[in-house]
Protein backbone atom coordinates (compact mmCIF):
# COMPACT_ATOMS: atom_id res chain seq x y z
CA UNK A 1 0.00 0.00 0.00
CA UNK A 2 1.55 3.28 -1.06
CA UNK A 3 1.51 6.48 0.97
CA UNK A 4 -1.04 7.94 -1.40
CA UNK A 5 -3.27 4.95 -0.90
CA UNK A 6 -2.84 5.15 2.86
CA UNK A 7 -3.97 8.76 2.85
CA UNK A 8 -6.88 7.94 0.56
CA UNK A 9 -7.88 4.99 2.74
CA UNK A 10 -7.83 7.01 5.91
CA UNK A 11 -9.94 9.65 4.18
CA UNK A 12 -12.33 6.86 3.13
CA UNK A 13 -12.42 5.52 6.70
CA UNK A 14 -13.36 8.96 7.94
CA UNK A 15 -16.14 9.29 5.38
CA UNK A 16 -17.49 5.81 6.18
CA UNK A 17 -17.38 6.52 9.90
CA UNK A 18 -19.30 9.72 9.34
CA UNK A 19 -21.84 7.92 7.17
CA UNK A 20 -22.39 5.10 9.67
CA UNK A 21 -22.61 7.55 12.57
CA UNK A 22 -25.18 9.67 10.71
CA UNK A 23 -27.21 6.59 9.80
CA UNK A 24 -27.22 5.41 13.40
CA UNK A 25 -28.18 8.89 14.60
CA UNK A 26 -31.07 9.08 12.18
CA UNK A 27 -32.32 5.55 12.93
CA UNK A 28 -35.10 6.06 15.43
CA UNK A 29 -35.20 2.84 17.46
CA UNK A 30 -38.13 3.83 19.70
CA UNK A 31 -40.58 1.61 17.87
CA UNK A 32 -38.14 -1.28 17.77
CA UNK A 33 -37.48 -1.05 21.50
CA UNK A 34 -41.22 -1.01 22.16
CA UNK A 35 -41.64 -4.12 20.00
CA UNK A 36 -38.83 -5.94 21.79
CA UNK A 37 -40.30 -4.99 25.15
CA UNK A 38 -43.78 -6.06 24.08
CA UNK A 39 -42.66 -9.40 22.73
CA UNK A 40 -40.68 -10.14 25.90
CA UNK A 41 -43.67 -9.21 28.01
CA UNK A 42 -46.07 -11.25 25.84
CA UNK A 43 -43.74 -14.20 25.93
CA UNK A 44 -43.46 -14.07 29.70
CA UNK A 45 -47.25 -13.90 30.05
CA UNK A 46 -47.69 -16.68 27.52
CA UNK A 47 -45.24 -18.91 29.36
CA UNK A 48 -47.08 -18.45 32.62
CA UNK A 49 -50.57 -19.04 31.25
CA UNK A 50 -49.63 -21.84 28.90
CA UNK A 51 -47.75 -23.62 31.64
CA UNK A 52 -50.68 -23.72 34.03
CA UNK A 53 -53.24 -24.40 31.26
CA UNK A 54 -51.16 -27.20 29.90
CA UNK A 55 -50.58 -28.80 33.24
CA UNK A 56 -54.28 -28.75 33.98
CA UNK A 57 -55.35 -29.89 30.54
CA UNK A 58 -53.14 -32.91 30.18
CA UNK A 59 -52.06 -33.80 33.65
CA UNK A 60 -48.58 -33.04 32.47
CA UNK A 61 -46.84 -33.42 35.77
CA UNK A 62 -47.39 -37.15 35.72
CA UNK A 63 -46.92 -37.72 32.02
CA UNK A 64 -43.79 -39.60 30.97
CA UNK A 65 -44.31 -41.31 27.63
CA UNK A 66 -40.73 -42.28 26.88
CA UNK A 67 -39.43 -42.79 30.37
CA UNK A 68 -37.15 -39.77 30.59
CA UNK A 69 -38.53 -38.99 33.97
CA UNK A 70 -40.71 -36.02 34.73
CA UNK A 71 -38.65 -32.89 35.20
CA UNK A 72 -39.28 -30.73 38.20
CA UNK A 73 -40.50 -27.83 36.18
CA UNK A 74 -41.84 -28.09 32.69
CA UNK A 75 -41.72 -24.50 31.62
CA UNK A 76 -41.76 -23.23 28.10
CA UNK A 77 -38.26 -22.60 26.90
CA UNK A 78 -36.76 -25.49 28.84
CA UNK A 79 -34.93 -27.76 26.50
CA UNK A 80 -35.39 -31.27 27.74
CA UNK A 81 -32.96 -33.23 25.66
CA UNK A 82 -33.91 -33.90 22.07
CA UNK A 83 -33.26 -31.57 19.21
CA UNK A 84 -36.74 -30.64 18.16
CA UNK A 85 -35.71 -27.02 18.40
CA UNK A 86 -33.57 -27.54 15.29
CA UNK A 87 -36.78 -27.85 13.30
CA UNK A 88 -38.03 -24.57 14.61
CA UNK A 89 -40.40 -25.90 17.24
CA UNK A 90 -40.60 -23.46 20.06
CA UNK A 91 -38.66 -20.73 18.34
CA UNK A 92 -41.57 -18.39 18.79
CA UNK A 93 -43.64 -19.87 21.59
CA UNK A 94 -40.66 -21.04 23.60
CA UNK A 95 -41.90 -24.62 23.86
CA UNK A 96 -39.09 -27.07 23.05
CA UNK A 97 -40.31 -30.55 23.86
CA UNK A 98 -37.97 -33.51 23.93
CA UNK A 99 -40.80 -35.96 24.02
CA UNK A 100 -41.38 -36.58 20.34
CA UNK A 101 -43.87 -39.25 21.20
CA UNK A 102 -45.75 -36.76 23.29
CA UNK A 103 -45.80 -33.96 20.75
CA UNK A 104 -46.67 -36.14 17.78
CA UNK A 105 -49.57 -37.55 19.76
CA UNK A 106 -50.89 -34.37 21.26
CA UNK A 107 -49.41 -31.60 19.13
CA UNK A 108 -47.88 -28.52 20.60
CA UNK A 109 -49.45 -27.88 23.99
CA UNK A 110 -48.93 -24.14 23.98
CA UNK A 111 -51.39 -23.58 21.17
CA UNK A 112 -49.66 -20.45 19.97
CA UNK A 113 -50.39 -21.50 16.36
CA UNK A 114 -47.58 -19.45 14.95
CA UNK A 115 -47.57 -20.10 11.25
CA UNK A 116 -43.93 -21.15 10.80
CA UNK A 117 -43.98 -23.63 13.67
CA UNK A 118 -44.04 -27.20 12.34
CA UNK A 119 -46.45 -28.16 15.08
CA UNK A 120 -49.02 -25.68 13.85
CA UNK B 1 -39.71 6.92 43.38
CA UNK B 2 -39.13 3.38 42.10
CA UNK B 3 -38.22 2.70 38.51
CA UNK B 4 -40.57 0.67 36.33
CA UNK B 5 -39.66 -3.02 36.37
CA UNK B 6 -38.44 -3.06 32.77
CA UNK B 7 -35.89 -0.37 33.58
CA UNK B 8 -34.30 -2.57 36.22
CA UNK B 9 -33.97 -5.57 34.00
CA UNK B 10 -30.34 -5.76 32.73
CA UNK B 11 -31.45 -7.42 29.48
CA UNK B 12 -33.93 -4.64 28.86
CA UNK B 13 -31.24 -2.05 29.51
CA UNK B 14 -28.83 -3.86 27.24
CA UNK B 15 -31.41 -4.08 24.45
CA UNK B 16 -32.34 -0.41 24.81
CA UNK B 17 -28.71 0.65 24.74
CA UNK B 18 -27.74 -1.31 21.65
CA UNK B 19 -30.96 -1.16 19.61
CA UNK B 20 -30.29 2.09 17.78
CA UNK B 21 -26.77 1.09 16.72
CA UNK B 22 -28.04 -2.31 15.57
CA UNK B 23 -30.92 -0.76 13.65
CA UNK B 24 -28.69 1.83 11.98
CA UNK B 25 -26.28 -0.88 10.94
CA UNK B 26 -29.04 -3.08 9.52
CA UNK B 27 -30.51 -0.12 7.62
CA UNK B 28 -27.19 0.52 5.90
CA UNK B 29 -27.01 -3.14 4.87
CA UNK B 30 -30.54 -3.79 3.63
CA UNK B 31 -31.35 -0.18 2.69
CA UNK B 32 -34.93 -0.48 3.82
CA UNK B 33 -36.01 0.64 7.25
CA UNK B 34 -38.92 -1.76 7.66
CA UNK B 35 -36.95 -4.81 6.57
CA UNK B 36 -34.10 -3.72 8.81
CA UNK B 37 -36.43 -3.33 11.77
CA UNK B 38 -37.94 -6.79 11.20
CA UNK B 39 -34.50 -8.36 10.94
CA UNK B 40 -33.19 -6.66 14.07
CA UNK B 41 -36.36 -7.52 16.00
CA UNK B 42 -36.09 -11.16 14.95
CA UNK B 43 -32.40 -11.30 15.91
CA UNK B 44 -33.15 -9.71 19.28
CA UNK B 45 -35.98 -12.18 19.92
CA UNK B 46 -33.81 -15.16 19.11
CA UNK B 47 -30.98 -13.90 21.25
CA UNK B 48 -33.19 -12.96 24.20
CA UNK B 49 -34.81 -16.40 24.05
CA UNK B 50 -31.35 -17.82 24.70
CA UNK B 51 -30.48 -15.33 27.40
CA UNK B 52 -29.92 -18.19 29.85
CA UNK B 53 -27.15 -19.60 27.67
CA UNK B 54 -25.21 -16.37 27.13
CA UNK B 55 -24.07 -13.41 29.13
CA UNK B 56 -25.80 -10.88 26.91
CA UNK B 57 -24.67 -7.65 28.56
CA UNK B 58 -21.08 -8.89 28.05
CA UNK B 59 -21.12 -10.85 24.76
CA UNK B 60 -24.47 -9.82 23.35
CA UNK B 61 -23.24 -7.06 21.03
CA UNK B 62 -20.95 -9.40 19.15
CA UNK B 63 -23.60 -12.11 18.88
CA UNK B 64 -26.27 -9.66 17.84
CA UNK B 65 -24.16 -8.01 15.16
CA UNK B 66 -23.13 -11.40 13.85
CA UNK B 67 -26.70 -12.54 13.57
CA UNK B 68 -27.83 -9.23 12.02
CA UNK B 69 -25.00 -9.39 9.49
CA UNK B 70 -25.92 -12.92 8.45
CA UNK B 71 -29.61 -12.12 8.26
CA UNK B 72 -28.96 -8.98 6.21
CA UNK B 73 -26.62 -10.80 3.82
CA UNK B 74 -29.25 -13.52 3.37
CA UNK B 75 -31.93 -10.93 2.85
CA UNK B 76 -29.86 -8.97 0.34
CA UNK B 77 -28.67 -11.94 -1.67
CA UNK B 78 -32.17 -13.39 -1.91
CA UNK B 79 -33.71 -10.11 -2.98
CA UNK B 80 -34.39 -9.50 -6.65
CA UNK B 81 -31.68 -7.49 -8.41
CA UNK B 82 -32.60 -3.84 -8.53
CA UNK B 83 -31.82 -1.28 -11.16
CA UNK B 84 -29.52 1.64 -10.55
CA UNK B 85 -32.50 3.95 -10.89
CA UNK B 86 -33.94 2.31 -7.83
CA UNK B 87 -30.68 2.88 -5.99
CA UNK B 88 -30.88 6.56 -6.89
CA UNK B 89 -34.43 6.60 -5.60
CA UNK B 90 -33.34 4.95 -2.35
CA UNK B 91 -30.72 7.60 -1.83
CA UNK B 92 -33.29 10.27 -2.60
CA UNK B 93 -35.68 8.84 0.00
CA UNK B 94 -32.99 8.34 2.60
CA UNK B 95 -33.31 10.31 5.81
CA UNK B 96 -29.62 10.24 6.64
CA UNK B 97 -28.47 13.72 7.56
CA UNK B 98 -25.83 15.62 5.64
CA UNK B 99 -22.34 15.69 7.14
CA UNK B 100 -22.62 19.32 8.19
CA UNK B 101 -24.22 21.35 10.92
CA UNK B 102 -27.01 23.25 9.18
CA UNK B 103 -27.18 25.82 11.98
CA UNK B 104 -23.66 27.14 11.45
CA UNK B 105 -22.76 26.31 7.84
CA UNK B 106 -23.19 28.63 4.90
CA UNK B 107 -25.26 27.70 1.80
CA UNK B 108 -22.19 26.62 -0.19
CA UNK B 109 -20.94 24.39 2.64
CA UNK B 110 -24.39 22.87 3.02
CA UNK B 111 -24.62 22.15 -0.71
CA UNK B 112 -21.14 20.60 -0.78
CA UNK B 113 -21.79 18.50 2.30
CA UNK B 114 -25.09 17.37 0.84
CA UNK B 115 -23.36 16.31 -2.35
CA UNK B 116 -20.64 14.50 -0.39
CA UNK B 117 -23.21 12.75 1.81
CA UNK B 118 -25.11 11.51 -1.25
CA UNK B 119 -21.91 10.37 -2.95
CA UNK B 120 -20.80 8.39 0.10
CA UNK B 121 -24.22 6.81 0.47
CA UNK B 122 -24.39 5.86 -3.19
CA UNK B 123 -20.84 4.49 -3.16
CA UNK B 124 -21.64 2.41 -0.06
CA UNK B 125 -24.81 1.11 -1.67
CA UNK B 126 -22.90 -0.06 -4.69
CA UNK B 127 -20.52 -2.23 -2.68
CA UNK B 128 -21.25 -5.97 -2.39
CA UNK B 129 -23.01 -6.57 0.90
CA UNK B 130 -20.14 -8.55 2.50
CA UNK B 131 -17.68 -5.74 1.76
CA UNK B 132 -20.14 -3.18 3.04
CA UNK B 133 -20.66 -5.17 6.23
CA UNK B 134 -16.91 -5.57 6.74
CA UNK B 135 -16.07 -1.91 6.29
CA UNK B 136 -19.01 -0.77 8.43
CA UNK B 137 -18.20 -3.18 11.24
CA UNK B 138 -14.65 -1.83 11.20
CA UNK B 139 -15.95 1.70 11.41
CA UNK B 140 -18.17 0.68 14.34
CA UNK B 141 -14.97 -0.19 16.19
CA UNK B 142 -14.78 -3.97 15.75
CA UNK B 143 -11.38 -5.55 15.22
CA UNK B 144 -10.55 -7.58 12.12
CA UNK B 145 -10.74 -10.76 14.20
CA UNK B 146 -14.26 -9.84 15.33
CA UNK B 147 -15.26 -8.89 11.79
CA UNK B 148 -14.01 -12.28 10.60
CA UNK B 149 -16.05 -14.03 13.30
CA UNK B 150 -19.17 -12.04 12.51
CA UNK B 151 -18.95 -12.63 8.79
CA UNK B 152 -17.95 -16.25 9.29
CA UNK B 153 -14.85 -15.90 7.15
CA UNK B 154 -11.13 -16.28 7.83
CA UNK B 155 -9.08 -13.42 9.20
CA UNK B 156 -7.30 -13.05 5.85
CA UNK B 157 -10.58 -13.00 4.02
CA UNK B 158 -11.95 -10.31 6.32
CA UNK B 159 -8.85 -8.23 5.65
CA UNK B 160 -9.36 -8.66 1.90
CA UNK B 161 -13.02 -7.63 2.18
CA UNK B 162 -12.11 -4.47 4.06
CA UNK B 163 -9.28 -3.66 1.67
CA UNK B 164 -11.42 -4.14 -1.42
CA UNK B 165 -14.20 -2.04 0.04
CA UNK B 166 -11.79 0.78 0.87
CA UNK B 167 -10.17 0.62 -2.57
CA UNK B 168 -13.55 0.68 -4.28
CA UNK B 169 -14.75 3.58 -2.13
CA UNK B 170 -11.50 5.47 -2.68
CA UNK B 171 -11.95 5.11 -6.44
CA UNK B 172 -15.59 6.16 -6.40
CA UNK B 173 -15.05 9.06 -4.03
CA UNK B 174 -11.74 10.19 -5.48
CA UNK B 175 -12.99 13.66 -6.55
CA UNK B 176 -14.08 14.37 -2.99
CA UNK B 177 -11.03 12.80 -1.38
CA UNK B 178 -8.59 14.72 -3.58
CA UNK B 179 -10.20 17.94 -2.46
CA UNK B 180 -9.61 17.14 1.19
CA UNK B 181 -6.08 15.68 0.92
CA UNK B 182 -3.16 18.09 1.46
pLDDT digits (tens, 9 = 90+) for A14-55: 888 888 888 888 878 888 888 777 777 666 554 544 444 544
pTM of the model: 0.61
**List of chain B residues with pLDDT < 50:** 1-7, 83-84, 87, 91-92
Which of A41, A57, A42 is closest to A107 using CA atoms? Answer: A57
The residue-averaged pLDDT of A83-105 equals 44
B176 touches chain A (CB under 8 A): yes
pLDDT in tens, A42-90: 665 545 444 445 444 444 444 444 444 434 334 333 333 334 444 444 4
Distance CA(A20)–CA(A14), nearest Å, equals 10
Q: What confidence score (pLDDT) does residue B85 get?
A: 52
Chain B residue nearest residue A15, CA to CA: B120
The residue-averaged pLDDT of A95-120 equals 46
Which of A2, A20, A30, A114 is most worth mutating to test chain B (most B CB atoms within 10 A of its CB)?
A20
Which residues numbered 45-104 in A keep a CB inside 8 Å of some CB on B?
A: 77, 91, 94
Q: What confidence score (pLDDT) does residue A99 get?
A: 40
Long-range contacts of A38-44 (CB under 8 A, 24+ apart): A39/B41, A39/B45, A40/B11, A40/B12, A40/B48, A41/B6, A43/A94, A43/B49
Taking an 8 Å cut-off on Cβ atoms, the answer to whether A37 and B46 are in contact is no
Residues of chain A contacting residue B100, judged by C-beta atoms under 8 Å apart: none
**C-alpha dist (Å) from residue A73 to A33, A55, A62, A77, B32:** 31, 11, 12, 11, 43
Q: What confidence score (pLDDT) does residue A73 get?
A: 38
Q: What confidence score (pLDDT) does residue A101 get?
A: 38
Chain B residue nearest residue A96, CA to CA: B49
Taking an 8 Å cut-off on Cβ atoms, the answer to whether B170 and A18 are in contact is no
Q: What confidence score (pLDDT) does residue B100 get?
A: 57
> How many Å lie between the alpha carbon of B90 and the closest alpha carbon of chain A?
14
Q: What confidence score (pLDDT) does residue B79 get?
A: 66
Distance CA(A7)–CA(A12), nearest Å, equals 9
Q: What confidence score (pLDDT) does residue B101 get?
A: 61
Residues of chain A contacting residue B28, judged by C-beta atoms under 8 Å apart: 19-20, 23
Cβ pairs A/B, distance under 8 A:
114
A10 touches chain B (CB under 8 A): no
Distance CA(B82)–CA(A90), nearest Å, equals 36
Q: What confidence score (pLDDT) does residue B164 get?
A: 94
A3 touches chain B (CB under 8 A): no
Amino acid sequence: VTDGNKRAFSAVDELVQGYVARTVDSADATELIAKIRASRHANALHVETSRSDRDQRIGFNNFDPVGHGVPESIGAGIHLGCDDSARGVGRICGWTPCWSAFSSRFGCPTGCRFRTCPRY
Amino acid sequence: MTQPSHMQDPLELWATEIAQRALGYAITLVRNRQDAEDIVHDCFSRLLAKSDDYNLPRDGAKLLFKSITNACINHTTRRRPESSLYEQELVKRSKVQDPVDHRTAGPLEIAMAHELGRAVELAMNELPVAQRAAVELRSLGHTLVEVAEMLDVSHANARVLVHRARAELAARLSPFIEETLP
